[in-house]
Structure 1
Amino acid sequence: MEGGFNKALLMTREDGTEVIAKIPCPNAGPAMYTTASEVAVLKYVKSHTTIPVPQVLAWSPDSANPIGTEYIIMEKVDGVQLFNKWGDMNGDRPLTIPAGNRLANFGIAQARREIWCIQHTELRDKRPIHRGTREDQISLLGTTIKILTILESHPRLLRSSKPVLWHKDLHMGNIFVSQDDPSKITGIIDWQSTSVSPMFLQVRWPVFLEPPDNYVRGLHEPALPDDFDQLSSNEKEKAEYDNIQAVLSKMYEMFSCAKSIDLRYAMNIPRVFRYEDWYTLQGIAMQVLDTDSEGWVPAEADWEETRAQNQALCEMFITKAAGEMPPETARRMWPFPTDDNTRPTSLRPPRNARAGNPIRILRQLDRHQWLMFVVGWIGWMWDAFDFFTVSLTITELAKEFKVKNSDVSWGLTVTLMLRSVGALIFGSISDRYGRKWPMIFNLGLFIILELASGFCTTLPQFLGVRSLYGIAMGGLFGPAAATALEDLPYEARGLLSGLFEQGYAIGYLLAAIFYRALVPTTSHGWRSLFWFGAGPPVLIIIFRLMLPETNYFQVMKAEREARHKADVLAAGGTESKSNSLCAFWRESSKALKQNWVLLIYMVVLMTGFNSCSHGSQDFYPTFLKDTVRMSATKTTVITVVGQIGALLGGTTIGYLSSVTGRRLTMMCAAIAGAAIVPAYVLPRNLSLIASVFFEQFFVGGIWGPIPVHLIELSPPALRSLIVGLTYQLGNLASSASATIQGVIGERYPLPPAANGTKRFAYGKVIGIFMGAVWVYLLLFLFLGPEMSQEEREVEAEAAMQFERLRAQGVSLTEIGASRAKGQNLAELETEFGHRNAKGDHEKGLVAAHIEG
């Protein structure tokens, strides 16, 4: 049998007896703890009460066991489920067990746990409006912590706050009774997620004894309405049903009160809901659709019909609420998903978004943030410079090695193919040990491999060196992006993400300039460009050595180690030097299991993005020199103008993405870029300058939001690895772009040049290739996810609180350790504010004492 949260298997042993194997689904609750908690409750109830529960025969909370999943094997309960033999005896009995008796302690622990869960959830879908944004929830929980000590002094709450264990899902399917004597309960099952909580939070009627709407609590005897005789037949039938239900509810209420007078107080404490209208709406929808609060549809119901009914009810509600709220708000308030919650609606610009002054945004950065951004940006820029040294010298290399242009283009292909290897190796190291040293090591490899490229005498030697360079190039992007962006104020990330990505364009621009300055004018030709490329990384390494590790990584490292240490000590283990490595692998494996579908999507998306940039840039200088017959100077001018367009486009569109949303902004860039493709490849004169500027404006523009978009999608524990690896795996999938264009282009020869040089229709191939890529990007951006506005607001507030804590002198290690305990940054900020105020007060007293 398969339920919403578990799978139950009926198994027969060799002796003929039957047992139940219960396997929790991923949505049942926290891994390990959900299973361990249920076993603990079953054993406690079995040992300390007379309530009949199944005996646990075997269990494992570790999915790494030989079976491959958590499980509980328990005896099969005798009897039949209560709905088959509906009797008048219930088994809902509260149990008092030893626990902390202070409401404040209990409440604060619960609030901190919820704050931690909200901060660390990986869900990407929008939360229902009745729950509020993440920022709303964290703020409300922070306020709750402050007032709980006041609340617990209230006499009515104090009397009803005794901790009790209570079965919260007591429906007739979970109660087994004797086949022969239905008044005898033989077992109560499904104790999953049962908790010990204050009585006033626990007490409730079982589902099948819930009172009707007109029920009056207390010493009031249920009766038919006074005008019963005047009612219609249908109304009489409902009144009689409600009266019978009210009598059963009253019997349960009186029985419970007779067992404990405190229960009477607890059952009558009013519930106050912040979103009371929403709960009323949810109740109506649940009743009409015959579903529960989670939206589960019974197996025997018609799914399509229920779905259509849900859609119709939602539209009816939107129409009725038109005078009170906008349609968008009404739709978001609807408790269940509708067909309108699709990709188009997710493209709406963020609510209350407005364009901030870029100058004001940049002024938010402090010295540390500027330095970290600049060193990451320069590293990425020179990464691109070294890559494009091959792209710009394809014709010279082909002449030197006496091969075709398409043969030399393999130097680009092997570099792109092996970048994913570097991303995997150095991304993992970066998330484990920090961003600093992997970046420095890869810059060192740049020096060695650029020098070696200039000394190659054969094509195989050259391809071998460029293969190794691909590993170094792939290993740099993740650490460089994290270094540049993860410490920035949130509002600045869209703008500076676009500027960071255009370090690639600046690298290309510089490569084009130095190509013109060195290749045609020096005796060593193309070799001098590669040798020159080995120099600046020395200066970048010195710059990076002078700067610290990123603040974000230091906090994340302290948090995961503190959490792992707490788990080890709680399990009875001892602290060791391997804690850091264990914590990293634990966080990493969890993140990969939870996000593998998202990671596949990111690779598919980055395949399109890399095909866009490489398809429009790598072979374009060859197209200009070979097909259009441009001189080296004109080729350089057009290339430089194109990269200036890319720089402006990336910065502008990256900035706009914070206002209009990442995906919508990039989709608009894809449409505009596709429209310009014919003008990019058809002219045969200097009018190409304008075409190249605007095409590269949108090529760079669509790339502008990508670094911050990837960071927002990536799980925090593997940020550097995932950003670098998905980007480089996209490079791997698109690595043959230049070779494909070269090989196919050579199938369409043009009349040879005056000096007999062969010419090919590379422009036709580039145009078709780019048209297909723009459509590909438009499709997958439309289908993909992005961080919601609620998540952005929480991220922005957390970034601001983080900076305020640093200003108060709180260490990064202390911030990480407090987050591991479940404290949110607002609570930590208040705590340290009080601590500082107390310290200032004590200093004042000391000063006054000295003066006295």
Structure 2
Amino acid sequence: MTDAATTAPDASVAARLDALPFTRRHLKVLTGSGLGWALDAMDVGLVSFVLTALIAQWSLTGEQASWIASAGFVGMAVGASLGGLLADRFGRRSVFALTLLVYGLATGASALAGGVAALIALRVVVGLGLGAELPVASTYVSELAPARMRGRLIVILEAFWAIGWTAAALIGFFVIPASADGWRWAFALGAIPALYALIVRWGLPESPRWLAQRGRDAEASEVVAGFESSPALGESRRHRTAPAAPALPAAPAPAATSARQRLARLWSAELRVRTAALWTVWFCVNFAYYGAFIWIPTILFAQGYDLVKSFGFTLIITLAQLPGYAVAAWLIEVWGRRATLSVFLAGSAIAAVLFGTASGEGAIIATGMALSFFNLGAWGALYAVTPETYPTSLRGTGAGWAAGVGRIASIVAPLSVPPLLAAGGAPLLFVIFAAFFVLAAAAAWGLAEHRGAALDDR
């Protein structure tokens, strides 16, 4: 295999994909991947509500609660790194389905946990699947999306996170307080991804860019032909065009066939600045987001609001995620990736300071909704820009390792919350979160801008 072949998928496959309108088959891929994304969010969100219930039921210390919150992120750090490597080796669809199966079964088993140690161990296994699923899913959808709408579709994919987190908030509000075993029933509902994995494995196509990059040109062409024959939807009916001549890389990159070679390529002269910027953004956003949102119900409970009211506030705050995604989905193809990401991160910083100093129910809800709006809009932009950072041969690896670095922060953040609260309360805690958002906003300008560009363009 030549260096160029290793670097980019077959030119005709890439050009044909970018020339497509938005078709019924694109919608199937988007919703199929998005449902997996929503189930992932539901599982992560459930922990914040289960944790609040277990603190009361099991008389957990702050340290024990922190370890339960962080255990899943330990698995996610490993899962994200391995998932990307596996997706570049074995394909996007197969690894996506496997991740759903792993975390679905482990979440269901968490309902049977009899103590802190067992629950922590199961949360690590859950994290292995969760961590691998998100970067693989975003890579998969980005490789099937036409260039002119790729960023918008990835933000819409990320918007399914809000649906899943809202589902978790509804379960937290209605199921968990209903009985002493409510948290067990919540985890039992989290086993749904195990069943959905079968639908993903057999109902969605493999990425044709990955197939072409692996030399499986006939299979890649067959998948693209399926999209070409699919009916166009909405305004896309007026935009079906002939394939444009693809823009090839400025220079072929060295072949990277082993895991070690792919990791080394992330830090080559061509890619090291954007890799450093991407890892910085992922680390900072994970620290601030998971430090805040995993603990919000518990912080409200500690401030004197009962279980139902603290869960109700969190549910309302969570609903603001959807308009955040909607605005980011529009702006990302207007302003571009870097500007949209940076603005939403700056908004997150301001909202974090206001939330940390808010008093009274109205102020808590309003500033919490602002934090939710800006933070989740930033997540949408981050997931859009991440797969675009690397060529096809490195895309899964690059996205997975960026997510893996971010998961290190998501391990540290929940553990940091109790001592920070003890040292300075919510104001100090959220000022620190704001500082991380500011650093991420600055690092965003080190990323490459790929608005409207072919996926493998440098």
TM-score by length of 1: 0.45
Tell me the equivalent position of 1:515: 172
Q: CA RMSD in A?
A: 3.1
- Name the aligned partner's letter for residue 399 of structure 1: A
Is 1:744 the equivalent of 2:420?
yes
Aligned pairs (5 A) from 1:327-366: 364-366=21-23
Q: CA 1:455 to 1:488, structure 2 compared with 1: closer, same or farther past 3 Å?
A: same
Match of residue 612, structure 1, among 288, 291, 305: 288
Q: 1:740 aligns to what SS in structure 2?
A: helix
Q: Conserved in 1, the CA contact under 8 Å of 2:282 and 2:406? A: yes
Tell me the equivalent position of 2:35: 378
Give the Cα–Cα distance (whole angstroms) in 2 for the partners of residues 434 and 747 of structure 1: 47
Q: Conserved in 1, the CA contact under 8 Å of 2:288 and 2:413? A: no
- Name the aligned partner's letter for residue 346 of structure 2: I
Tell me the equivalent position of 2:262: 588
Is 1:663 the equivalent of 2:338?
yes
Deviation for aligned residue 1:447: 2.6
Q: Conserved in 1, the CA contact under 8 Å of 2:321 and 2:372? A: yes
Tell me the equivalent position of 2:61: 404
Give the Cα–Cα distance (whole angstroms) in 2 for the partners of residues 394 and 612 of structure 1: 19
Where does structure 2 lack aligned partners over 5 or more consecutive residues?
A: 10-14, 219-254
Tell me the equivalent position of 1:674: 349
Give the Cα–Cα distance (whole angstroms) in 1 for the partners of residues 197 and 455 of structure 2: 31
Give the Cα–Cα distance (whole angstroms) in 1 for the partners of residues 69 and 187 of structure 2: 14
Give the Cα–Cα distance (whole angstroms) in 2 for the partners of residues 541 and 643 of structure 1: 29
Instruction: Give CA deviations for 1:42-97 in whole Å, capped at 9, x if unaligned.
Output: xxxxxxxxxxxxxxxxxxxxxxxxxxxxxxxxxxxxxxxxxxxxxxxxxxxxxxxx
Higher RCO (C-alpha 8 Å, min separation 6): 2
Aligned length, in residue pairs: 408
Deviation for aligned residue 1:523: 4.6
Tell me the equivalent position of 1:75: none
Tell me the equivalent position of 1:469: 126
Q: CA 1:788 to 1:687, structure 2 compared with 1: closer, same or farther past 3 Å?
A: closer
Q: Conserved in 2, the CA contact under 8 Å of 1:383 and 1:473? A: yes
Match of residue 364, structure 2, among 688, 697, 720: 688
- Name the aligned partner's letter for residue 555 of structure 1: A
Q: CA 1:435 to 1:764, structure 2 compared with 1: closer, same or farther past 3 Å?
A: same
Tell me the equivalent position of 1:632: 307
Is 1:437 the equivalent of 2:94?
yes
Q: Conserved in 1, the CA contact under 8 Å of 2:177 and 2:308? A: no
Is 1:766 the equivalent of 2:429?
yes
Deviation for aligned residue 1:788: 5.3
Tell me the equivalent position of 1:453: 110
Q: Conserved in 2, the CA contact under 8 Å of 1:443 and 1:541? A: no
Deviation for aligned residue 1:590: 7.3
Give the Cα–Cα distance (whole angstroms) in 2 for the partners of residues 465 and 543 of structure 1: 24
Match of residue 786, structure 1, among 441, 448, 458: 448
Tell me the equivalent position of 1:546: 203
Is 1:731 the equivalent of 2:407?
yes
Instruction: Give CA deviations for 1:679-720 in whole Å, capped at 9, x if unaligned.
Output: 313223233222222221111111121122011112320212
Give the Cα–Cα distance (whole angstroms) in 2 for the partners of residues 768 and 670 of structure 1: 14
Q: 2:35 aligns to what SS in structure 1?
A: helix
Q: CA 1:779 to 1:527, structure 2 compared with 1: closer, same or farther past 3 Å?
A: same
Give the Cα–Cα distance (whole angstroms) in 1 for the partners of residues 263 and 54 of structure 2: 45
Aligned pairs (5 A) from 1:263-282: none
Give the Cα–Cα distance (whole angstroms) in 2 for the partners of residues 519 and 637 of structure 1: 12
Report the structure, 1 or 2, having the larger strand content: 1
Give the Cα–Cα distance (whole angstroms) in 2 for the partners of residues 535 and 473 of structure 1: 13
Q: CA 1:795 to 1:536, structure 2 compared with 1: closer, same or farther past 3 Å?
A: closer
Match of residue 485, structure 1, among 142, 150, 158: 142
Q: Conserved in 2, the CA contact under 8 Å of 1:440 and 1:541? A: yes
Deviation for aligned residue 1:450: 1.0
Q: CA 1:793 to 1:408, structure 2 compared with 1: closer, same or farther past 3 Å?
A: closer
Tell me the equivalent position of 1:602: 278
Q: 1:658 aligns to what SS in structure 2?
A: coil
Q: Conserved in 1, the CA contact under 8 Å of 2:420 and 2:428? A: yes
Give the Cα–Cα distance (whole angstroms) in 1 for the partners of residues 183 and 449 of structure 2: 45
Q: CA 1:794 to 1:462, structure 2 compared with 1: closer, same or farther past 3 Å?
A: closer
Instruction: Give CA deviations for 1:374-416 in whole Å, capped at 9, x if unaligned.
Output: 1211112111211222211223222333321342121221221
Q: Conserved in 1, the CA contact under 8 Å of 2:290 and 2:413? A: yes
Is 1:504 the equivalent of 2:166?
no
Deviation for aligned residue 1:634: 2.9
Tell me the equivalent position of 2:391: 715
Q: 1:502 aligns to what SS in structure 2?
A: helix
- Name the aligned partner's letter for residue 460 of structure 1: A
Q: Conserved in 2, the CA contact under 8 Å of 1:374 and 1:484? A: no
Q: CA 1:452 to 1:765, structure 2 compared with 1: closer, same or farther past 3 Å?
A: farther
Q: Rg: which structure is higher? A: 1
Give the Cα–Cα distance (whole angstroms) in 2 for the partners of residues 746 and 695 of structure 1: 23
Task: Flag as ranges the 4+ runs of structure 1 deviating above 4 A.
Answer: none
Q: Conserved in 1, the CA contact under 8 Å of 2:81 and 2:403? A: no
Is 1:648 the equivalent of 2:323?
yes
Q: 1:558 aligns to what SS in structure 2?
A: coil
